A and B are shown apart, each in its own frame.
Chain A
């Protein structure tokens, strides 16, 4: 059973979002998504200052000859991108909820949580998939 931390929110396409004390939201992909994708070989992420939109593609990740879209769980502006992932994608697999974070985003509005699943709902989705 994949881990589903209780301190963040989820998109049905297996991305997570966690709010920091400063209101900045960190996003990444879940342990389930990372395990399904398999060994990762490339990732492309937006740079600082770029805008991302809810449920729209913000990057791409390649594994086992497959390129998958990464969808943003939140609308806002990128204030930091995890550049270390460009050199090594292993943190995404080994530590998807911590060192494998992808973007830090300044939310476009305060209602972003309303559009996402809570941990219990996401866990239910995993159990039913």
Chain B
């Protein structure tokens, strides 16, 4: 069955807390139509992959690595996961579990995006996760700064599954660039498939300098135009408020899952 994306919704609800951000992505995964979302954070945080184990202590390599694109100011405060339910989260980074796979990601200065839509469709000729991720990565790489490209090559995700930090793992769909002779990961994707739907969450490091939100929106519009070609229609305006039903479902998902210890600390 071929589905034609008739319209792409553009959503930028502004900075949200970590649990609400991840709950909203799941709501979009379960909604109808295509959604392109700019995800902004009201505080620095860490997101964990769907099946990652909660780090058992706070003093070893289980921490996400400090990425070279992330400014020292950003991580000058204590850079730890909370390790028990009684931890003072003001002294550590809050962490929330995603519905997508992969490793943990430090958010705050990255550009975080989410795309949700029907699957299969012309954009996803099959549901092979590796092919979908590489396809999206190639589009992103073409729009980002010169020198950033899709890694390609051998898939080492399985052998690196115990590496906590997404940006230390190696996948063909990674966005990478060369810095001082080293290949550095500049962006990563994670996916979730539900019956007839796919959610793609992406984190892209473009440097510590803050940019006006209009710049991010313009960049994402370019992404959609590049991806859709002349096939799809993009919404003319960015939606900044959630529909009432969406807001109710986000609230419910935070209460029942994304805001709970049971969900986040498996």
Contact at A38–B195, with CB atoms within 8 Å? no
Residues of chain B within 8 A (CB-CB) of A41 are: 51, 101, 157-158, 161
A65 near B195 (CB under 8 angstroms)? no
Q: Given A37-B128, A37-B129, A38-B129, does the pair A64, B195 have CB atoms closer than 8 Å?
A: no
Q: Is the CB of A57 within 8 A of B126?
A: no
Q: Which of A36, A55, A62, A129 contacts B195 (CB 8 A)?
A: A55
User: How distant is B169 from chain A, measured CB to nearest CB, in Å?
Assistant: 8
- Shortest C-beta distance, A9 to chain B (Å), equals 18
Chain B residues numbered 219-248 whose CB sits less than 8 Å from any CB in chain A = none
Q: Assess whether B27 is interfacial by the CB under 8 Å rule.
A: no
CB distance from A48 to the nearest CB of B (A): 20
B127 touching A36, Cβ below 8 Å: yes
Tell me the complex Cα distance, A39–B49, Å.
16
Stretch at the interface among A67-75, A98-106, A111-119: A67-75
Query: Are B161 and A66 in contact, CB atoms less than 8 angstroms apart?
Result: no
A64-B155, A65-B133, A65-B171 known; A42+B51 contact, CB < 8 A: yes
Q: CB of A53 within 8 A of chain B?
A: no
Q: Is B176 an interface residue (CB 8 A)?
A: no
Q: Which of B64-72, B185-193, B250-258 interfaces with chain A?
A: B185-193
Q: Is the CB of B155 within 8 A of A39?
A: yes
A64 to B129, CA, bound (A): 7
Q: Does A18 contact B (CB under 8 A)?
A: no
Bound-state Cα–Cα, A59 to B171, Å: 25
Q: Check: B211 CB closer than 8 A to any chain A CB.
A: no
B 153-169 to A, binary, CB cutoff 8 A, 1 in contact else 0: 00101100100000000
Interface residue range, chain B: 20 to 34
Q: Output the residue of A13, A63, A64 with the most chain B CB within 10 A.
A: A64
| Residue of B with least CB distance to A56 | B195
Kindly state whether residue A60 has any CB partner on chain B within 8 Å. yes
Binding site of A, secondary structure by majority: helix, strand, loop or mixed? strand
Whether the pair A66, B191 counts as a contact (CB closer than 8 A) is yes
- In the complex, A26 Cα to B26 Cα: how many Å? 30
Q: Looking at the complex, which one of A39, A40, A66 makes contact with B193 (CB distance below 8 Å)?
A: A66
A66 touches B133 (CB 8 A): yes
Q: Are B50 and A38 in contact (CB under 8 A)?
A: no
A65 and B129: CB pair below 8 A? yes
B100 contacts chain A at the CB level, 8 A cutoff: yes
The interface residues of chain B lying within 8 Å CB-to-CB of A13 are 195
Q: Indicate the member of B99, B128, B189 with the most A CB atoms within 10 Å.
A: B128
Question: Which A residues touch B173, using CB under 8 A?
Answer: 65
- Interface on B for A, CB 8 Å cutoff? 49-51, 99-102, 126-130, 132-133, 155, 157-158, 161, 171, 173, 188-195
Which chain A residues have a beta carbon within 8 Å of chain B's beta carbons? 13, 36-42, 44, 55, 57, 60, 62-69, 71, 129
Given contacts A37-B128, A65-B173, 18 further A-B contacts (CB under 8 A): A36-B128, A41-B157, A41-B161, A57-B194, A57-B195, A62-B50, A62-B101, A64-B129, A64-B155, A65-B102, A65-B188, A65-B190, A66-B190, A67-B100, A67-B101, A67-B192, A68-B129, A68-B193
List 18 A-B residue pairs with CB atoms under 8 Å apart, sorted by A's residue number. A36-B126, A36-B127, A37-B128, A41-B51, A42-B101, A57-B195, A62-B49, A64-B101, A64-B129, A64-B155, A64-B171, A65-B133, A65-B188, A66-B100, A66-B191, A67-B101, A68-B192, A69-B193
